[in-house]
Structure 1
């Protein structure tokens, strides 16, 4: 039984390391000079922090706001969730 657990731990750790390496490679890739949303230049400060950025701060915030799911535990959250359907 111990061998199975040890092997599973090795497999899980290898998968985790692979996932981290893929994310790091994606973040290292060059993004866009101009925002895909508005066409304006992406802020130099944003580029310094996130070289893989494809949207300016404002447009990325709008994308994240649209994709955010309201908490369905409140009445307002349930109403908003139902309105999206």
Structure 2
């Protein structure tokens, strides 16, 4: 999975922690926003909103840290530890 990120971003750190908890390897791709890398056509093609973080999993692009975190847990989580089906249950 390609993960476009900035090291100091809280949302980026959230995704990295969720991936680590799931035992997933992310192919981290640093974006330099000061040089406008998020506006390059190849990145805008992946994410029309050109926001960071962005995850590309087998051709499927998703952005916004909370959406990425839920996607990873729902797709790769082996149990309900990180995202219980019943929101009132506590593991």
TM-score class, shorter: under 0.3
Rg (Cα) greater in structure: 1
Higher relative contact order (CA 8 A, sep 6+): 2
TM normalised by structure 2 equals 0.25
Which of the two has greater strand per residue? 2
